[in-house]
Structure 1
Amino acid sequence: MSSGSEAIASDSGQPHSPWLAVAGVCGVYVSFGLAIGVMAPLVDEISADLSLSRSAMGSILGAWALIYVFTAVPGGAVVDRLGLRWSLFVGGLTITASLVLRSMANGPVSLFAAVAVFGIGGPLVSIATPKLVASLFEADERRLPTGLGVSSPALGTAIALAVTNPILLPAFDGNWRPVLVSMAAVSFLTTLGWLYASRAITHVEQGATRTDRSTIARLLKLRSMRTILAITLFSFFFSHALSNWLPEILADTGQSDNAAGYLSAISVTVGIVGSLSIARLVPSRRRPHALVAIFAVAGAMVAGIGSLPFGLLFGALAVLGFARAGIIPLLFLEIMGDKNIAVSDIGAATGLFFAVGEIGGFSGPYVIGWVADTTEGFAAATLVLTGIAGAAAAGALALKFVRGTTDVY
């Protein structure tokens, strides 16, 4: 494993910093966020064009997460076999293909299938990123690259939310299909960029490890891993539901489509700062404490969305975005820092992380859409989200005792 402060010699003798690889994977991960974020501001246009109810649209929005449940663990094995370079390349191409197929959808089934394609290659990006960080950086150097990697999808989502309604839709005369094609073009370019940046990982042993059932079974026997997976289930329900429905929740409170898009983008943009700073500032022994606080704050902010005036709403969304952006970096660091999980186990552990998490990732958008349909609004749906945040906080409290950090804040 190389130190992040050291340059890596390429085959030609020219030094390549590990940060070149970090930049490359961040580019692919930005496209990952674009593919997720672009759907929320297009909900009205797509629903009207394809005659979709909120429940149907909720299922479609969560389609890729459903596929993740079944592909994440095998995805860890694929990353182990293909190596980081080709895993991320295939993952990037799959994101591009999903966006192109979405632009060609002519009904709910074809749109569901197009979004689901994202769930086939997406795990390769999600799993390869923490493994790349663990392979290139020593334990005390991982906080910043982990924060950068995890913040990249948030950046992509923020860009999609900010530019779709006010810029791209008007530029394409209100046609949602070219918007998706333009996002696909960006995804393809970042995938090509990764091929260049991957020169910085030529020294990393590729395809040297193997994930098998015994590895998965051993990881699941760890109490710490089971607790992390429980937190992940609730946190993904909360985050995916909120990410997909936030513009509609805000519109339901009286905000215009453009205002809802900007407010959602601001929340995600502030989250980038949270991704970069929370993981760096929280000491390792305080990570469970921080997770408890994050979920408590997130639940409180969501509960107030429907009743706050614009100024306070702006502040609440900023706090919400900052707080929840720290969840995945802290959980990743918990996995990487576990003394019972070796670097060779990171692919399998991250596969489990996403397989369990995306059960919540699929359920969240669907359940919130169903509740909104049933109650003819999002007031009850926000209460459901508040309850889910409380359940995640309880899991984080349990993790504090599993880690032996029984001191109270």
Structure 2
Amino acid sequence: MTSDFSIELPQPDDKYKWYILAISLVTGTFVSAIPFSCMPVLFKEISEDLGLDLVQIGTIWGVASLAGIFISIGAGLLSDRFGVKNILSIFCILVGITGALRGLSNSFFVLAFTVFLNGIVRLIIPITVTKTIGLWFRGKNLGMAMGVGAVGMGLGLMLGPMISATVMSPALGGWRNVMYFYGGLSAAVGILWIAFGREPSQTSSTTTSGTVPLRQALSKLIRLKSLWFLGLTLLFRVGCLMGMTGYLPLYLRDQRGWEIAAADGTLAAFYAISTVCVVPLSILSDKIGSRKLILYIALIVGLVCVSLIPIVEDGMIWVLILLAGVFMDGFMSLTTTILLETEGVGVKYSGTALGIVFTIVHIGSVSSPPLGNSLERIGQQAPFFFWASLSIAALVMLAFVRETGWRRTIRTASA
């Protein structure tokens, strides 16, 4: 009886993993992405209400990621120790509460504090969702599953700019009520995890009780050079996109004279095409057996597009935004896949490894927006050139990252 039960046990998990993937997608949309991506298009209304200047806006946009520098490693350890269901259930609700608190802000400092507070709990979500997908999907399906998970983020990143300023704020009576509404959605997703979340039975014992001590995990992972270079690649890549996306709607409205809907629509289009392309790029990566080839193309395209935005005519800006957006979520999906496939990481150290990489990444997320915004004093083109230069640095770092696609495995085996 015992042996029969143990043989049949993985079968329900094999079906239930698709439900988990669906909940993970919803989590990315309504917890990780929309409450975050709504901010750039609401900055105009917020700045008029609170009297913020451009550098303060850049600081607010950056401080949203500041908490990640301090809590990313802890986020990985939490999911390793207490299980992904418990962490996602609790922290989705906390994201809702702290996200709603942003609506109570009456000054720059209060807004900065509430955005930082929201970041502390919100930034735990992507790491835990990534680990969840890594636990439920292995081998040839991992790249595809990561792509589907990234679709959730992409949908939220698209919907936030698309509806927050032009639909939600007028309908709800201002940006403060938008914060309250999105907070309620995040909390509802937490209830969804309480009701339907589950740990994979074949690994639940190791993820909840057999955890590796922090010192042991760190001592092993900090010696993996590829992990550090991957983190630095993402630092510069995310720094480029965070700065550009936070500044672009304001630039198009104030410097180019675009209407609000059109300016906000560029971000919506950027994230929309990213959402459409993320799964095909992940499948293509699995098919050709290379992760890095697609990452190289993404960085080169991003470098060219961001450099040209302040130079070209208005109509060409749409083309550049769409080209850059093709690879946005796909880049994150493939770099995360590389991390989980890196020799020496695996499921055992995945939470801590993700925490280390995201800690590095958030340094770029925090510093890039205010640094780039401050360069507007030199000229309107300067912020874009600064953010484009970060793509060059990312290309250099990527060269030192070890390929994990199946073509490298074949070459290694035949060598």
What TM-score do the two structures reach when normalised by structure 2?
0.89
1:224–1:402 Cα contact (<8 Å) kept = no
What corresponds to 2:3 in structure 1?
A: none
What corresponds to 1:387 in structure 2?
A: 389
The counterpart of 1:396, out of the listed 385, 395, 398, is 398
Q: Where does structure 2 lack aligned partners over 5 or more consecutive residues?
A: 1-5
Measured on the aligned residues, the alpha-carbon RMSD in Å equals 2.3
Question: Secondary structure in 2 aligned to 1:119?
Answer: helix
What corresponds to 2:367 in structure 1?
A: 363
Question: Secondary structure in 1 aligned to 2:309?
Answer: coil
**Aligned-partner Cα distance in 2 for 1:7–1:170:** 49
The structure-2 alpha-carbon separation of the partners of 1:375 and 1:256, relative to structure 1 and needing over 3 Å to count, comes to farther
Question: Secondary structure in 1 aligned to 2:326?
Answer: helix
What corresponds to 2:208 in structure 1?
A: 207
The counterpart of 2:270, out of the listed 267, 272, 295, is 267
**Aligned-partner Cα distance in 2 for 1:260–1:197:** 39
TM-aligned CA deviation for residue 400 of structure 1:
5.5
What corresponds to 1:12 in structure 2?
A: none
Question: Secondary structure in 2 aligned to 1:17?
Answer: helix
**Aligned-partner Cα distance in 2 for 1:184–1:19:** 26
For this pair of structures, how many residues does the alignment match? 394
What corresponds to 1:45 in structure 2?
A: 45
Query: Mean alpha-carbon deviation: is it higher for 144-153 or for 279-288?
Result: 279-288
What TM-score do the two structures reach when normalised by structure 1?
0.90
**Aligned-partner Cα distance in 1 for 2:221–2:198:** 32
**Aligned-partner Cα distance in 1 for 2:327–2:346:** 29
**Aligned-partner Cα distance in 2 for 1:386–1:217:** 35
Query: Mean alpha-carbon deviation: is it higher for 122-131 or for 25-34?
Result: 122-131
- Give a deviation string over 1:348-405, Cα, whole Å, max 9, x none: 0000011010000111112122222x2363x110000110011111211232689996
The counterpart of 1:339, out of the listed 328, 338, 343, is 343
Q: Structure 2 matches for 1:319-338, cutoff 5 A? A: 319-338=323-342
1:92–1:191 Cα contact (<8 Å) kept = yes
TM-aligned CA deviation for residue 200 of structure 1:
6.6
- Give a deviation string over 1:103-150, Cα, whole Å, max 9, x none: 001111111111111222223312212211221112111112101212
Letter in 2 for 1:292: Y
Q: Where does structure 1 lack aligned partners over 5 or more consecutive residues?
A: 10-14
1:289–1:397 Cα contact (<8 Å) kept = no
Q: Structure 2 matches for 1:8-407, cutoff 5 A? A: 8=12, 17-31=16-30, 32-173=32-173, 175-199=174-198, 201=200, 204-205=203-204, 206-208=207-209, 209-251=211-253, 252-283=255-286, 285-372=289-376, 374-375=377-378, 377=380, 379-399=381-401
TM-aligned CA deviation for residue 203 of structure 1:
5.6
1:293–1:393 Cα contact (<8 Å) kept = no
**Aligned-partner Cα distance in 2 for 1:255–1:347:** 43
Question: Secondary structure in 2 aligned to 1:79?
Answer: helix
**Aligned-partner Cα distance in 1 for 2:130–2:144:** 12
**Aligned-partner Cα distance in 1 for 2:349–2:83:** 14
Question: Secondary structure in 2 aligned to 1:131?
Answer: helix
User: Percentage identity across aligned positions?
Assistant: 20
TM-aligned CA deviation for residue 157 of structure 1:
1.8
**Aligned-partner Cα distance in 2 for 1:342–1:353:** 14
Letter in 2 for 1:261: D
The structure-2 alpha-carbon separation of the partners of 1:371 and 1:183, relative to structure 1 and needing over 3 Å to count, comes to same
Kindly report structure 1 stretches of 4+ aligned residues shifted beyond 3 Å: 199-204, 400-405
1:34–1:183 Cα contact (<8 Å) kept = yes
**Aligned-partner Cα distance in 1 for 2:404–2:144:** 26
TM-aligned CA deviation for residue 211 of structure 1:
4.4
The structure-2 alpha-carbon separation of the partners of 1:211 and 1:49, relative to structure 1 and needing over 3 Å to count, comes to farther
TM-aligned CA deviation for residue 151 of structure 1:
2.6
